[in-house]
Amino acid sequence: MSNVVGLIELVSAKFNVFSTGIWSLATIQSLVNSIDSPGNIFGCWSKLNACLVKEFGLGILSLSAAELGWAIDVGKSDPVEITKAFLSQINESPYRDEIYTLVSDKRALNEAEAARQRAKSGNRKSPLDGVPVSWKDLFDTENIPTQSGTRLLEGRVPSTDCEVVQRATQAGMICLGKTHLSELAFSGLGINPMTRTSPNRYDLATAPGGSSSGAAASVSFDLAPIAIGSDTGGSVRIPAAWNGLVGLKTTHGVVPLDGVVPLCSSFDTVGPLCRSVEDAGLMFEILSGNNVNLGNSPDLNNVKLLVCQTSMLEHCDETQLNAFETAVNELQKAGANIEREEIPELVEMTQLGPIMFPYEAYKQWGEVIENAPDKMFKPVLDRFLGGKHVTAEQDATARARMLELRQSYNQRTRFYDAVIAPTTPNPAPEIKPLMEDFELFWDVNLRSLSNTRIGNMFGLCALTLPTATKGAGFMLMSAPCSEEKLLQMGMALEPVVAV
């Protein structure tokens, strides 16, 4: 019976409309009985929510990807019904064209019908079979324009899906369309006057975060249950944090980049933006091809976390720092072991970023950009052109030192489950001042990336979780190729840091 009461409390807290006076224990118990493992309150959360769709008329658009998947599995919802609901929401939204570059209605409905038939015959391909997904417009999609947020690639239409889109399709997921981004994914702010700037969930006057700006907006505005973005220096985690989402930065090389428009191919990674850690885990399994067991979340008493005492905190705004410290306090009260110390490798590694990122980005795109510089937004153009003045020798020296610092960092942090920090040191900035002062744009962009790009340069996997403060994320960085452990830990931390 304590499980039943716990479920009532959880639902009341989430939806803020129910109470023990409205819900009968018999009704809740009937829902619990339809769930495999009611003893694990948080483990069966997605299944309970899926039950609520039918039992209490809660809308499809309010559910996570995992919840939708389970609703399909038990026949409480239908892939075609779900897909039509999202397509209708997209096409009726005043932000449709600011979020999506293209909506693939025909493809989505064809894929949904196939998913419906598989569900009816009991042959679903994955837990997310029949669940819609949006794709950042740098993932090649067959016969659908893929232009990476830039006029430089206007008219580029791939003939095949990229590898990760193929994997999602093979798992039965539904392609809703392509989403806007920063030009060639080279800005953490998500402001793109050359195409469209996607809206921020909390304040339309502020930047959405980038470069996966449309990806975050598609989920936060209920125009997709899950989105796929890329992260070269923070491009999944920043927009996720500024829009109250979960974002997973994968280890470089774990998820294939074949058919993904590159920025810096030695740092580029692919990852989901979504409503829950469970969603991130299910999507990572599909994208990587690795089995992920989310059922082994650790006891917080056995979790050991490290706060980098100054490097990732000293430049934080008060709002971001307070949100982070509040989450740390809640974790400590829940039993987590948290220590603080300096990580000197971070300071030196940060100094290498302005060498390596612009060099590789210019090497990739310099010739194309030089032929049509007027097609680019000046602050982004200037960042690319900065790589023109970095020599191959300087880049090679920086990369050699980067590898040494990675070894030193891994040795220093080997006894911790994760290093934690505010995802961004600053909240989403107002757009207007940045458009009036490009030097300010440059400074705010680099500051916004300062914490997240640490994970890319050290070759780590990382996860951002929403906190109780709007637009403030809580970031965990773990050892390379430890995504399963990171996601399991994220499942345990998720309800605590959001308090």
For residues 291 and 285, the answer to whether their CB atoms sit within 8 Å is: yes
Q: How far is CA 283 from CA 99, 148, 475, in A?
A: 21, 22, 19
pLDDT of residue 49: 60
pLDDT in tens, 92-122: 999 999 999 999 999 999 999 999 999 999 9
Report CA 379 to chain centroid distance, whole Å.
Answer: 25
User: Using 50, 70 and 90 to split pLDDT, how confident is the model at 309?
Assistant: confident
Q: In what order do the strands lie in the sheet with 304-308?
A: 100-103, 174-179, 132-136, 227-230, 270-274, 246-249, 461-466, 473-478, 418-422, 304-308, 337-341
> Does 13 score more than 70 pLDDT?
no
Annotated catalytic sites, by residue?
136, 211, 235
pLDDT in tens, 382-391: 999 999 999 9
Closest C-alpha to 177, from 282, 243, 91, 285: 91
Q: Is the peptide bond before 211 cis (omega within 30 degrees of 0)?
A: yes
Mapped onto helix, strand or coil, the DSSP state of residue 271 is: strand
pLDDT of residue 39: 39
pLDDT of residue 217: 98
Over residues 52-68, mean pLDDT? 76
Mapped onto helix, strand or coil, the DSSP state of residue 178 is: strand
User: Using 50, 70 and 90 to split pLDDT, how confident is the model at 311?
Assistant: confident
pLDDT of residue 50: 57
pLDDT of residue 146: 98
Closest C-alpha to 218, from 268, 270, 260, 274: 274
> Does 193 score more than 70 pLDDT?
yes
Structure tokens at 387: 């790589």
Least-confidence region, from 212-221, 266-275, 306-315, 438-447: 306-315
Q: CA-CA distance, 485 to 133, in Å (whole number)? A: 25
Q: What percent of the chain has pLDDT over 70?
A: 88
Q: CA-CA distance, 142 to 150, in Å (whole number)? A: 19
Closest C-alpha to 249, from 32, 433, 418: 418
For residues 263 and 453, the answer to whether their CB atoms sit within 8 Å is: no
Sign of the CA dihedral 169, 171, 176, 182? negative
**Which helix (H) or strand (E) is 438 found in, with range?**
helix 438-449
Q: CA-CA distance, 384 to 361, in Å (whole number)? A: 6
Q: Please tell me the pTM assigned to this model.
A: 0.91
Q: What percent of the chain has pLDDT over 90?
A: 86
> Does 169 score more than 60 pLDDT?
yes
pLDDT in tens, 216-274: 999 999 999 999 999 999 999 999 999 999 999 999 999 999 999 999 999 999 999 99
pLDDT in tens, 450-484: 999 999 999 999 999 999 999 999 999 999 999 99
Q: How far is CA 179 from CA 98, 169, 331, 361, in A?
A: 9, 17, 35, 22
In the chain, domain spans: 2-63, 79-288
> Does 338 score more than 90 pLDDT?
yes
- Its CATH class, for the domain covering 79-288, is alpha beta
Q: Residue 471 region, left (φ>0) first, then alpha (ψ -120 to 50), else beta? A: left
Q: CA-CA distance, 159 to 140, in Å (whole number)? A: 8
> Does 306 score more than 60 pLDDT?
yes
Q: CA-CA distance, 400 to 466, in Å (whole number)? A: 35
Count the neighbouring beta carbons within 10 Å of the beta carbon of residue 356.
23
* Count of H-run helices and E-run strands, the chain: 19, 11
pLDDT of residue 310: 81
More confident: 19 or 69:
69
Q: How far is CA 214 from CA 111, 182, 229, 243, 493, in A?
A: 22, 9, 9, 11, 27
Chain-wide mean pLDDT for the chain? 91
Q: How far is CA 337 from CA 333, 334, 409, in A?
A: 10, 9, 20
pLDDT of residue 65: 98
User: To 5 degrees, how large is the angle CA 392–CA 396–CA 400?
Assistant: 175
